[in-house]
Every structure is written in C-alpha cells, then in structure tokens.
Amino acid sequence: MVVFNKFFTSVVLAAVFAASSVSAAPWPASSKHATHRKRSLPNGVTFETFHPASSLETFGAGLDHPLAKSASQDLKDAAVTFVTERLNIEASAVKHRTDSATDIITNAFLTQQHDNIPFANAVANVAFKNNKIVSFGHSFVKPTSIAASTPTVSVEDAIAAAEKKLDGKFNDHPPTLEFLVKEDNSVVLTHVVQIQNEEAGTWFEAFVDAHSGEVVSITDFVDEASFRVIPIERNSVNDGFQTIQDPADLAASPNGWNNDGSPTTGNNVITFKGTQSSTTEQSGSGNQFIFNFDASRQPSFQANLDAARTNAFYVVNTVHDFTYRYGFNEANFNFQNDNFGRGGRGNDRVTVSVQDSSGLNNANFGTPPDGQSGQMRMFLWDRTNPMRDGALENDIVVHENTHGVTNRLVGGGTARCLRGLESGGMGEGWSDAMADWSEKTSSAVPDFSPGTYVINSSSGIRSFPYSTSSSVNPLTYGDLSRLDEVHDIGEVWANILHNVYAALVGAHGWSATARTNPNGTQGNVVHMHLFIDSLQLMPCNPTFLSARDAWIQADENRYDGANRCTLWRAFASRGLGVNAANHRDDSSVPSGC
C-alpha cells in the first residue's frame, strides 16, 4: 500500500480523481453511463461491468515533457515520468504497455500496476507532438485495498469457472494475470481468459478472481447490431451493381486484395458461408468476381450467395484501405494477416461469415485485441420475401467493420475501451457515422438513414434520419439523461457527427478522392482525419465530453486549430457546448468563436 500513500495526502489529487470517486458523488443516475454497463447474456446470466471513470486533459500547442531537457529523450520514460508527476504517484505504479505513431503524434499507452502486475481497467494514454505533450487521458484509481499478488486459484480452475458461467469454451488464447478495479475501488487479482461459443456467437474475456474463483467481470468483444458489389458510395442492391476494375488501393494493400486465381480470401479479409473453406471462387481469371444477382430469388440462390460474399469482400477491403490512408495501419492495430514488417501484430484479418446461421435481422462484429481476427457475422433479414441479405447493404457492412476500427483505435489495441454504456453508445454512433461518410457523392449533405434496404423502408432502422435539421432529428446530448441503450445513445452521437461533417464540408468543400487521398484540404478529408485522430487521443471508455475534447485537440494537432470554432459551433448546436455536463445541454461556444 506504500505505493499509493501519496494519493491520500495530495491536495491536487482531489480534483484529478474526483471523477473516479463514484460512490462519494451525488450524481444523477445517468452518470453511471460512463462507468457501468448492464448485459444480459444468452444463457440468462446478467452482468453489470464497471469501468473506472476516465478523464482527458488536452494541452493545445503542448506542454514541455518532463525529460525534454534531460539526456534521455525516450518517450516511454517521458510518458511514465509525466504520469507519475501529474498524478503524484510512484514510478513503480505505472507500466508502459505499448505505443503507436501516426504521421503527427506518438501515443504512449500505460497501465497502473502493482507488484509488476498490470491493472486491466486502470489505464492511461499520453500523446506527444513535436516532443511536447498534447493530451493525457487516464482512468487510474486510488485503491482501497489490493489483493495478494500470488494466485491461490489455478488458471485451470479459473477456466472451468468461466466456461460454466459464460456457457462457452476456452479458446486457447494465452491467459494473463491482471488486477481489476471494482466499483468500491478495491482491487482483485484475476486470471483473464477468453471464452467463445461459436453457435451462440458469443466471445468474452472473463476476469476470474484468482483467490475466490468467481467470475467478477467480462469484456464482451461482440458488438451486436440492433437494427429495427455495390459501389461503396451506393447503399444496396437497389442502387445497382457495377463491375469495378482493380479497386485495391496499393498504398494500403501492397499485394492487392487477393492473388489471381484465389477466391474471396486475402490479407485483409476472408468472406465465406458456414466454414472458412466455403468462399467464392473467381468467375474468371484475372480477379474476376462477376455474379448476376437475382432479386426475385432467395439469398441462398448460388449467384446471390456469390454476390454477397463478393460484396462483403469488396466493402471490408475498401474500409481497410481508406481507414489505412487516415492512420488505421499495422502499427495502429489494424486487421491484416501479413503486416509487411510495419509493426503491430498480424494474423488478424477480418473473417466475415455471410448468411450466418446464428441469427436473423441483425449483424454483429467481435473485436478481440490486436493479433486476433475480427469476426463479422452478417445475417439474413426476413421482413421481405424473398429475404434480404445484410451483406448486400453497404451501410450495414461498414457499420459492423467500423466497430473493429474504433475498438482497436481507442485505448491502443486492447479492445477493452468502448465497453461502458456511454462509450459503447459512441461506438454505435461512429459506426453509423462512418457509413454516412462513405456514401457521400458530392458536397450535398442529405439526411442519412441506415438499413433502408434490409427492411425495405425508406425510414431505415433508426429513430430519426441523421440530419442538419433539428425538426427532422431533434436528438441532442441532453437526451442521454433518458437513454440507456447503446444504439439509442449512438443515434445521438452519429447525429452530432453528421452535423460536424456538414459544418466542415460547408467550410471547406468536398473531395471526390477522399478515400484514396488524405492530403486534400476539403471538409470530408478533414472530417475523416479528425475522426481517426481523435480516437487515438481519447481515454479508455470516453464520454461524449472527452470525445468532443479529443476532436478539438486533434484539430489543434493536425491543423493548428484552424477548425476550432467550426467544431465548437457544431458540437454546441446539439448540446455539447463548453458548459455541457452530466447530460445537460449547453449551446455556448468559447469566446472568440
């Protein structure tokens, strides 16, 4: 406990840690959005997970880092020293886990630790630009007690307990030993093991108390959709197929998407039905995948199945390539089998199961940590006859794929950092916002409704179209006080980002080559840079407020704050003004805007 004595004596810390003393603050019930999430598992078990509150400090043009003037210029050391000084804790309580670099910043990811054992849910991220610190996110805690560091329950017994509780099988991913902070800030020692159930489509990381054998928490890697080749900018079968020559972006996929002669399997993605050996063969040599979709027949009709596997292959590769251009690359935890020696962990291309038999009228995406494949499952929809195939509605495929992007970019590849209710809600929002971005064909910003094809209705699957009109879509930040489901919360965030996009395109115009050229000055290019950059600045389990601050700082980092007022006005127009807090709207902007 010596390590944490300073927590109790420091006055400065009262402010820094106010956010993590959950039990002490008489907050509105909705404040639990940031720190908790309830889940009901398919086997009837319910779990409420706890995620220590996180905060984000941004520093504009940057602070000098503690080692800037010393002999050691090592950013790892600088990050550790900065965190220990800022939080007034011992260096032995901080562990550097990994870092990543973009074209403008370097991010160090750290964990709280005790006896050299990392904390799973108390983490930090420090971003550097030009040798200065531009932002600091963290969820470190002041433990009330810490369990003994040597397990008294074996990992085998922990696996057995997790398999039983979560109704699945251990998947052989190597278990780890980590501390876990509970809601009362007591800290338990846990065996962390992955449990999957292929038929039920579940995939969990279980935290099993290494002294009591109890399953104390989970990470649910699967983002469920809950939705009440077609060129990427078109949406579905209804907008027409087109034969596209050589769509791979060789800057992002140097060997192309697949080899001549090979089926729908490549370095970034494999699409199949049932088992991974059931891919679609080329219809002709030279990477031809030309299948004539027949709308009058069921999805199981051979040409329709081949069209679905081909379209999903095309869309997931396209998302791989354009997000790569904006920084979701090997070193930033993307999905590829071969990383060509450019950092990060490979062997984790996206696996896409089309017409997956485990569900209907839905889709989902399982995002494990960097180095394990993302798993997309696309289902059929039975609202029409013939049924419709989710793999043939691009906004659904892009939505699912984007769960992988956001879960990997926030928190440095652990896939643990969008698991609270509010952060999980933003995960849903980003997924719709990415689909919104990818379907634009001009500087116009029409209302956007995902899921129109699968349910055969122009209203789509959300409550309101995303819109710049408050009468079409009235959602604002303040609605979080009454919403408690991730897709509902996601609608608020996606609508805010729709308005941010409109403001940026209004200010800077629109580029038709944004997907392959990130160097443009146009608004859609700026939007995607800030979208991807901000994910890398956010703390683990961000809130709407810290996410907004990350966008503002991302603009400072990349554009010297050129869009600061544009962004503030757009956020404030939907309730996220400078004085927004505790799910209460505020429309004010900083002075000078």
Ligand X SMILES: *[C@@H]1O[C@H](CO)[C@@H](O)[C@H](O)[C@H]1NC(C)=O
Residue placing its CB nearer to ligand X in the complex, 150 or 238: 238
Which structure tokens are listed for 212?
Answer: 């009591």
User: 274-279 — which CB contacts under 8 Å span 24+ positions?
Assistant: 274/353, 274/357, 276/351, 279/309
The residue length of the chain stands at 593
Does 252 help bind Ca ion (rule: CB under 5 A)?
no
CA within 13 Å, CB half, 202:
24
How many residues bind Ca ion, per CB under 5 A? 4
Does 296 help bind ligand X (rule: CB under 6 A)?
no
Does 436 help bind Zn ion (rule: CB under 5 A)?
no
Which partner in Zn ion, Ca ion, ligand X, none is near 220 (CB below 5 to 8 A by kind)?
Answer: none
Query: CA 588 to CA 593: how far, in whole Å?
Result: 10
Instruction: Decide if 400 is catalytic.
Output: yes
Does 88 help bind ligand X (rule: CB under 6 A)?
no
- Among candidate residues 400, 422, 439, 556, the one labeled active-site is 400
Binding piece for Zn ion, criterion CB under 5 A, among 38-46, 340-348, 423-431, 510-518: 423-431
Q: Is 233 annotated as a binding residue?
A: no
How many residues bind Zn ion, per CB under 5 A? 4
Least Cβ distance, residue 398 to ligand X (angstroms): 22
Least Cβ distance, residue 450 to Ca ion (angstroms): 27
User: 3-10 — which CB contacts under 8 Å span 24+ positions?
Assistant: 3/89, 3/90, 3/92, 3/93, 3/114, 4/89, 4/93, 4/142, 4/143, 6/88, 6/89, 6/90, 7/88, 7/89, 7/142, 8/142, 10/88
Residue placing its CB nearer to Ca ion in the complex, 97 or 527: 97
Residue 498 parent element (H or E):
helix 486-508
Query: CA 531 to CA 146: how far, in whole Å?
Result: 38
Does 517 help bind ligand X (rule: CB under 6 A)?
yes
Candidate list 99, 205, 223, 348; residue touching Ca ion; CB under 5 A: 348
CA-to-CA dists, residue 32 to 48, 49, 144, 185, 295, angstroms: 11, 11, 20, 15, 46
How many residues bind ligand X, per CB under 6 A? 4
Query: CA 6 to CA 8: how far, in whole Å?
Result: 5
Which structure tokens are listed for 130?
Answer: 């030009």
Least Cβ distance, residue 485 to ligand X (angstroms): 28
Which partner in Zn ion, ligand X, Ca ion, none is near 225 (CB below 5 to 8 A by kind)?
Answer: Zn ion
Residue whose beta carbon is closest to Ca ion: 348
Which partner in Ca ion, ligand X, Zn ion, none is near 364 (CB below 5 to 8 A by kind)?
Answer: none
In three-state secondary structure terms, 108 is: strand
Least Cβ distance, residue 541 to Zn ion (angstroms): 17
Q: Please say whether the beta carbons of 344 and 332 come within 8 A.
A: yes
Residue placing its CB nearer to Ca ion in the complex, 344 or 465: 344
Tell me 333's DSSP state: T
Touching Zn ion, residues 195-254 (CB under 5 A) = 223, 225
Least Cβ distance, residue 241 to ligand X (angstroms): 17
DSSP secondary structure of 60-91:
EEEEEPTTTTSS---HHHHHHHHHHHHHT--G
Query: CA 542 to CA 363: how far, in whole Å?
Result: 25
Least Cβ distance, residue 223 to Zn ion (angstroms): 5
Binding piece for Ca ion, criterion CB under 5 A, among 89-97, 310-318, 338-346, 350-358: 338-346
Angle between helical axes of 302-325 and 421-438 (0-180°, round to 10): 100
E strands along 273-367, which residues? 350-353, 363-366
Does 209 help bind Ca ion (rule: CB under 5 A)?
no
Query: CA 329 to CA 100: how far, in whole Å?
Result: 10
Which partner in Zn ion, ligand X, Ca ion, none is near 348 (CB below 5 to 8 A by kind)?
Answer: Ca ion
Binding piece for Ca ion, criterion CB under 5 A, among 283-291, 304-312, 347-355, 569-577: 347-355
DSSP secondary structure of 342-363:
SSS--S-PEEEETT-TT-BS-E
Which partner in Zn ion, Ca ion, ligand X, none is near 94 (CB below 5 to 8 A by kind)?
Answer: none
Q: Is 428 annotated as a binding residue?
A: yes
CA dihedral for 355, 357, 358, 360, sign (positive or negative): positive
Least Cβ distance, residue 519 to ligand X (angstroms): 4
Residue placing its CB nearer to ligand X in the complex, 357 or 384: 384
Beta pairing, strands 222-224 & 186-197: unpaired
E strands along 130-274, which residues? 132-138, 145-146, 169-170, 176-181, 186-197, 202-209, 215-220, 222-224, 269-272
Which partner in Ca ion, Zn ion, ligand X, none is near 23 (CB below 5 to 8 A by kind)?
Answer: none
Touching ligand X, residues 376-435 (CB under 6 A) = 384
Candidate list 116, 285, 296, 519; residue touching ligand X; CB under 6 A: 519
Does 100 help bind Ca ion (rule: CB under 5 A)?
no
Residue 437 parent element (H or E):
helix 421-438
Residue placing its CB nearer to ligand X in the complex, 70 or 384: 384
Residue placing its CB nearer to Zn ion in the complex, 399 or 440: 399
* Residue 296: count of CB within 10 angstroms of its CB: 6
Least Cβ distance, residue 107 to ligand X (angstroms): 20
Candidate list 209, 220, 370, 436; residue touching Ca ion; CB under 5 A: 370
Give the x/- contact pattern for ligand X in 454-493, rule: CB under 6 A. Answer: --x-------------------------------------
Binding piece for Ca ion, criterion CB under 5 A, among 341-349, 376-384, 441-449, 578-586: 341-349
Residue bearing tokens 């991220």? 125
Residue placing its CB nearer to ligand X in the complex, 462 or 515: 515
Residue 381 parent element (H or E):
strand 380-381
Query: CA 198 to CA 168: how far, in whole Å?
Result: 8
Q: Is 399 annotated as a binding residue?
A: yes
Which parts are annotated binding residues for Zn(2+)?
224, 399, 403, 428
Residues annotated catalytic, as ranges = 400
Which positions lie near Ca ion, rule CB under 5 A? 344-345, 348, 370
Interface residues with Zn ion (CB under 5 A)? 223, 225, 428, 431
User: Residues in the site for ligand X, rule: CB under 6 A?
Assistant: 384, 456, 517, 519
Residue ranges of the annotated binding site are 224, 399, 403, 428
